Amino acid sequence: MRPSPARLLNILVPVKRAVDYAVKIRVNAQQTGVDLNVKHSMNPFDEIAVEEAVRIRERLSKEGSEPVTITALTIGPAKSVETLRTALAMGADSAIHVEIPESAPAPEPLGVAKTIRAIVEKQKEKEAVDMVILGKQAIDDDLGQTGQMLAGLLGWGQATYASKVELDLEKKNAVVTREIDGGSEQVRVKFPMIVTTDLRLNEPRYASLPNIMKAKKKPVMKMSPADLNVSLEPQIETLKVTEPPKRVGGAKVESVDELVEKLKAAGFTAV
């Protein structure tokens, strides 16, 4: 039998530059948001997404079958290009940077999803995207909607909160194990599809020095939201951000009676 022509599997991985999870978050003086003048890195769930895309390619190239291309995408100010370099150093082949001004408000999930859709549609002209892998949420706004909205906008199938992804290129589908309450669930989704990643999916690799060097030479295409004909204007207005009340230290009591007295004074009564 004649071998079928090599077909590329094209994976798009949208990543977000977020305040690093190890940083202690502080509300800014105006109470309009948090202090952003701190260490940023790639949203950890997105890092898992990049890792998964790279692992998919490693698995497939081992079997000598179709090669995979991985494109990383980010929306953000000029500095976000660092996040793309990390994705490229981990193994993405190329990157797209939708640049917004430093002063622009943080994009909301719907705007982000529409931007990703615009990219997917643009890519159709040359290498159609078969799979979008992205974090289930970003750790800065915790909104957790982009993947689902994107699936809705594109009319694609989605497998969210993935802890395992197995591809069947012949049948053009994937069996995805999902994290659900009290267990896991397996679903089969046809290409093209959306996967959102959960913590157990994998453990992201270190970026090796040769790959960091190579990443510098990989192409990063820049565009603006206007080029894609999308608007990232927020639809929600943040009124106020406050820190949780400070925990008040405990105190030792001498006796049970004293404890009961203190509880009563604090307004606790017997049920």
Partner 1 sequence: MGKYRGKSTTVLRPKTTQEVSEIVKWCNDRRIGIVPQGGNTGLVGGSVPLKDEVILSLSNMTQVRSFDPISGILVADAGCILQSLTDYVAPHNHIMPLDLGAKGSCQIGGNVSTNAGGLRLLRYGSLHGSVLGLEVVLPDGTILDQLTTLRKDNTGYDLKQLFIGAEGTLGIITAVSILTPPAPQASNNVILALPRFENVLPLYKTVKRQLSEILSAFEFIDRTAYDLAVKHGQGRALSEDEVEGAECFVLVETSGGKREHDEEKLNTLLESLLEADEPLINTGVMAQNPAQFSSIWALREGVTEAVSKEGKAYKYDISIPLSTFKECVDLTRERLRSKGLLSEDKVKAVMGYGHVGDGNLHLNVVANAYTEEIQDALEPFIYELVASHRGSVSAEHGIGAMKTHALHYSKNEVSVAWMKRIKAMFDPNGIMNPGKVLE
Which residues make up the interface to partner 1 (CB under 8 A)? 20-23, 39, 41-42, 44, 86, 89, 203, 205-210, 212-213
Q: Token pair of 159, please?
A: 């497998």
Nearer to partner 1, 19 or 154 (CB): 19
Can you point out the beta strands (E) in 111-156?
131-135
- Pairing state between β 17-19 and 40-42: antiparallel
Distance CA(96)–CA(74), nearest Å, equals: 7
Q: How far is the CB of 132 from partner 1 (least distance, A)?
A: 22
In the complex, minimum distance from the CB of residue 203 to partner 1, in angstroms, rounded to a whole number: 7
Decide whether 63 or 203 has the Cβ nearer to partner 1. Answer: 203
* Shortest Cβ 54–partner 1 spacing (Å): 11
CB of 62 to partner 1, least distance (A): 14
In terms of residues, how long is the chain?
A: 271
Pair of tokens at residue 263: 């509880």
| DSSP code string of 216-258 | HHS-EEEE-TTTTT-----SS------PPPPPPP----SSHHH
Q: Least CB distance from residue 242 to partner 1, whole Å? A: 21
Question: C-beta of 211: minimal distance to partner 1 in Å?
Answer: 9
Question: For residues 74 and 158, which CB has a smaller minimum distance to partner 1 in the complex?
Answer: 74
The pair of structure tokens assigned to 118 is: 């615009």
Return all residues near 154 (Cβ < 8 A) that are at least 6 apart. Answer: 117, 120, 192, 194
The H or E element containing residue 212 is: helix 209-217
Kindly tell me which of 12 and 42 has the beta carbon lying closer to partner 1. 42
Token pair 């397996």: residue: 186
For residue 73, the minimal CB distance to partner 1 (Å) is 18
User: Tokens at residue 158, please?
Assistant: 């989605």
Residue 44 vs 192, nearer CB to partner 1: 44
Q: How far apart are CA 108 and CA 168, in angstroms?
A: 34
- Judged by beta carbon, residue 104 or residue 212, the one nearer partner 1 is 212
- Closest residue by Cα to residue 45 from 119, 128, 122, 147: 147
Nearer of residues 60 and 212 to partner 1, judged by Cβ: 212
- Residues 60 and 68 sit within 8 Å (Cβ to Cβ): yes
